[in-house]
Each structure stands twice: as structure tokens, then as C-alpha cells.
Amino acid sequence: MNRFDNDTQVERIDERRWRAEVSPAWSIGVNPNGGYVLAVVLAAARDAIEHPHPLTTTAHFLKPATTGPAEVHVEVHKVGRRQSTVSGWLVQDGVERLRVLSSFGDLDTFAGPSRVTATPPDLPPVEECEQRSEAVLATLPEIARRVDLRLRPGVMFGPPADEHEAVFEGWVRFSDEREPDVASLPFLADAFPPPALRVVTASWIPTLELTVHVRAVPAPGWMRARFATRVMVDGLLEEDGELWDSAGRLVAQSRQLALVLPG
């Protein structure tokens, strides 16, 4: 089994509780990545209802999760023809770590007008983008070994500068070449480093809240991604993300509210 599927497995305990194991493989320092922990909660939520696709998911991060055993609790608010809405939350040592609200549906059942004016990032081919060397990876958090990011040339991680834009664009896939699917899109929408690091020094930029819309079932292959911050005031910022699949379709849109901690 690939790493992501292995590390997001949950086991049902009863009607409302699932057992999970938070893996150390997706951490940034000692803290498991928020998008990874969200994927664990969504695995339990998916098990609780019939609809297959997390159309819209919001996570509020209350306290960093730790690696090791956890329980996921799920409460179903609505089961409808078009959507099922649930709350889910992850508990470790009796403390709630994140709270999730999500509506699931079936993207294959929607019918109606289509009109797209957004366009995917105009990137050079994957092989011309920056690949992180083993030497660089050794200096980066654990999660960087799980996700293969190929940034636009000339936009490497590095010291911030006033003349930079707070934007990261690049290709993305799992390092073990597991194909993207709807279950992994909320995670992949949180797998880039914060683009605000291009313009400010920070010890970290924790996410207070992350919302991801899954808009289409992704085709296999590399995805194009764009993450940008346009408004940072008193350290509080939004980060908007888009993921486009190899067929040129927008498959996920994300926005998070995050906070710059002094560097």
C-alpha cells in the first residue's frame, strides 16, 4: 500500500468513533502537517456516510496533533439526496486537536451549465522546474520527502525579499507516485510551504482555518498548483490555492487563514 493510504487508515470502533494512528512521516518539526491530520478525519467521515466526495471541507486547528494513537469522532448532521453534512474531530489524550465541518456529495451526479474563465498556472515542463536535491531534502521537514514539488525556476525557497511576490507555483505529486484522488486533494491543498515566506521572515505560519472545495475527480499524473497571499495585516493573512489536474481541469480550490509567528 502507498504511504498516504497507509497513514490515513481508520478503524471503526462504534457508531461515532474511529481509531487512527497519526504517522510521523508527514510532520513539520514535531507537528504533523495539518492537511495530513485533516485527511485522517475525512477518512472517518467518509466511512460514516454514503456520498463519496468531500465537496467542501473546513478545518479549524485547535491544538497541534502529535504522532501516535488518536480517536476520530464523527457526527452526521444531514443525509440528503444531494449532500451529506458531518462534523468530525480528532482527539488525543482527551484533547480535541482539530474540528472539521464537511459536506460530501457525488461530483458525477451534478448537471448544469459550465463556464470557466480561470486558467491554470503557465508553467515550464516538469523537467525544467526546480527539483529538490537529496542534500536539500535532508534539511527540510519530513513532509518534504512525501510530496514532490517542482517550483517554477528562480522561485526557490530562500530568504524573503521585498521585491518578491507572495506566490508559489509549481508541479506537485506524491513522491511515491500515488495518483491524486478526491481523498488526497484536501491534503495536497495544504502541502506547499506558505507563500508568505517569500516576503516575510517567520518562525512559522500556523493555519487557523483551512477550507477546501473539491471541484472535480483528478486525472492521474502531475498537478499544477498555485498558492498566493494578497492581504497580510498585523501578521494575519489569507492563502488562496488552486490545484489543476493533468487534463487541465481545476480540481481543488483552497483558502486558509493563517498567522505569521515572528522569526
* Contacting residues toward a second copy, per CB under 8 A: 55-56, 58, 60, 62-63, 77-78, 80, 82-83, 85, 87, 89, 96, 99, 101, 103, 107, 110-118, 165-166, 199-200, 208-209, 211, 213, 215-216, 230-236, 238, 249-250, 253, 255, 257, 259-262
Per-residue DSSP letters for 90-102?
EEETTEEEEEEEE
* Least gap, CB of 48 to a second copy (angstroms): 15
The SS3 of residue 155 is: coil
Cell numbers describing residue 56: 467542501
* Comparison of 12 and 249: residue with beta carbon closer to a second copy: 249
* Comparison of 126 and 259: residue with beta carbon closer to a second copy: 259
d(CA 203, CA 201): 7
* Comparison of 149 and 243: residue with beta carbon closer to a second copy: 243
* Comparison of 10 and 260: residue with beta carbon closer to a second copy: 260
- CA nearest to 132, candidates 193, 199, 84, 86: 193
* Least gap, CB of 242 to a second copy (angstroms): 9
* Comparison of 22 and 202: residue with beta carbon closer to a second copy: 202
* Comparison of 39 and 200: residue with beta carbon closer to a second copy: 200
* Least gap, CB of 14 to a second copy (angstroms): 21
Cell numbers describing residue 218: 483528478
Cell numbers describing residue 91: 482527539
* Least gap, CB of 148 to a second copy (angstroms): 26
* Least gap, CB of 227 to a second copy (angstroms): 14
d(CA 140, CA 52): 34
d(CA 212, CA 160): 27
Any idea what the Cα angle at residue 49 is, between residues 47 and 54, rounded to 5°? 85
List Cα–Cα distances, 30 to 68, 197, 200, in angstroms: 12, 20, 23
- CA nearest to 25, candidates 131, 141, 139: 141
**DSSP element (H, E) containing 185:** helix 185-188
* Comparison of 32 and 105: residue with beta carbon closer to a second copy: 105
Cα end-to-end span (Å), the chain: 39
Cell numbers describing residue 184: 488526497
The SS3 of residue 171 is: strand
* Least gap, CB of 122 to a second copy (angstroms): 16
